[in-house]
Amino acid sequence: MTNRVTTTQETKATTDAVRLLPRDRLADLFHALTARGYQVIGPRVDQGAIIYDQLTSVEELPRGWTDEQGPGYYRLKRREDDDAFGYVVGPHSWKRYLFPPLVTLARIERDGEDWHIESQPESPVKRAFLGVRACELAAIAVQDRVFLSQAYVDPIYQARRESVCLIAANCTQAAATCFCTSMDTGPRCRSGFDLAITEIAAGYIVEVGSELGASLAADLPLRPASPEDQADGEAARARAVAQIERTLDTHDIRALLMNNLDHPQWDDVGQRCLSCTNCTMVCPTCFCCSVTEVGDLTEQHIERQRQWDSCFHPDFSYINGGQVRGQVRSRYRQWLTHKLATWIDQFDVSGCVGCGRCITWCPVGIDLTEEVAAIRGNPS
C-alpha cells in the first residue's frame, strides 16, 4: 500500500544530512540523557508484554522481541534479529507518566472546628521517553490540546509535559490492529519529537527535531549514513506502511455518527461489550478521571485523590437522581461518538490516533473500525 503523505516525507528526510548512530553505541544516547538529569522511561519485557517503565540501562530494552496482535489478542514473540525497537505499541501508553493514574491533589486535616487544606505542586521529575511512536506523538499532541490549550490548564500535566524529552522511534513494522494511516498520524514521525530514530542493521538513523535534540546529537558518536544505510531506513519504514491492513474511513465521520444515534448497531455492540473500561484505559488520548475524598476512620485526615476513570463505569455518569447513561449501549455510543465525532467539536482534532490499543486490549475483541464500518455500510 502506498501512501501519499509518507512518500513526501521520505523525500524530505533524504535531502537532510542523514546521520547514523552505530548499533553498539545506543548506550551513548542513554548516557547523554541521564547526564542531563533525565530519568529514562522506555520499553521492556514484563508480564508477557512490552511495557513502558523506568530503565536503568539499554540492556533492559526488548532486544530480539516483538509482538503479535489481533482483536483481544497479544502475544510476545521472538524476532530473528536483535532489534531493540522491533515491536509495536503495547498495553501501556505514555499518558501514564503525563496524566498519572492516581495523584493526591490535596491533604485535608481537621483543625478544631476548621479544616486545613494543603495542596502542594508536584516536584518536577525530568523524564525522557525512549521509543515514542508516531501515533503516540499524535496522542500527546491531542492531550496537549485537552489539558493545556483551553481555559482550564491542568497544572499536573503541564509540569510533567514541560520537563519531558521525546526520543521517537519510527515503526519498522505494524500490528494487525494498527490504522494510523487512516488517521493520518503515522507510521512516520513527522514532528513533535526532540530526536527520532529509525532502527536498521547498521544502527540508528537519527533525525533532530528540536534544540534539545540537536544538543543531544552533538554528544553522540554519529557518522554520516551511507546510501545503503539510507535505503535500509526507507525500506524499514516502508515495511511498516505496507503491513498496515486495517482502515477507518473518516470521510464526514462526524455527521455519519451524529446522524445515526439510533442505529441498530449500537444495540448490537451493547450486547457484546462488557463495559469493562479497558478500551478507555489503554487509549492514549482518553482523559476521564474522578476526584474522591478518602478519609481515615476518625475522618480527621482526608486525602483528595484523582484517579483514572471511564465513561464505561456506570457511576461515572451518576449525577443527582441517577445515571445519565444507564445502559451499556449508551455508554459505548458515548465513547465512540466522543472519540470520533464530538471530540472534533471540542478540541478541533479527532480523539483517535489509530494506535489500535482499544482493539487489542478489549477482552472480547470489539473493533471500533468494524463498528463504524457497520454503521457506514447501512446508515439509517
Interface with ligand SF4 (CB under 6 A) = 273-279, 282-285, 312, 339, 352-358, 362-364, 366, 368
CB of 216: closest distance to other proteins in angstroms? 28
Question: C-alpha dihedral over 168, 174, 179, 182, to 10 degrees?
Answer: 70
Q: Which residues pair with 268 in a beta bridge?
A: none
Q: Which of 112, 315, 319, 348 binds other proteins (CB under 8 A)?
A: 315
Is the Cβ of residue 132 or residue 279 nearer to ligand SF4 in the bound state? 279
- Check residue 15 for interaction with other proteins (CB under 8 A): no
Name residue 287's amino acid: F
Q: What is the C-alpha separation between 287 and 335, in angstroms, rounded?
A: 12
Q: Which of 159, 276, 344, 349 binds other proteins (CB under 8 A)?
A: 276
Q: Pick what 285 binds: ligand SF4, other proteins, none; C-beta below 5 to 8 Å, kind-dependent.
A: ligand SF4
Residue with cell 499536573: 156
Reduced DSSP (H G I as helix, E B as strand, rest coil) percent helix, strand, coil of the chain, to 5: 35, 25, 40
- Check residue 308 for interaction with other proteins (CB under 8 A): yes
Phi, psi of 306 (to 5 degrees): -110, 130
- Check residue 320 for interaction with other proteins (CB under 8 A): no
CB of 179: closest distance to other proteins in angstroms? 18
Is the Cβ of residue 201 or residue 274 nearer to ligand SF4 in the bound state? 274
Residue with cell 539499554: 58
Q: What is the C-alpha separation between 257 and 24, in angstroms, rounded?
A: 50
Q: What is the C-alpha separation between 289 and 309, in angstroms, rounded?
A: 4
What residues numbered 91-120 form the site for other proteins, per CB under 8 A? Answer: 91-92, 96, 101-102
CB of 337: closest distance to ligand SF4 in angstroms? 12
- Check residue 60 for interaction with other proteins (CB under 8 A): no
CB 152 within 8 A of CB 115: no
Q: Pick what 134 binds: other proteins, ligand SF4, none; C-beta below 5 to 8 Å, kind-dependent.
A: none
Q: Is the dihedral of CA 302, 304, 307, 313 positive or negative?
A: positive
SS3 category, 341: helix
Could you list the residues that contact other proteins (CB under 8 A)?
Answer: 46-49, 51, 68, 70-76, 91-92, 96, 101-102, 271-278, 281-282, 292, 294-295, 297-299, 307-310, 313-315, 326-328, 360-361, 363-365
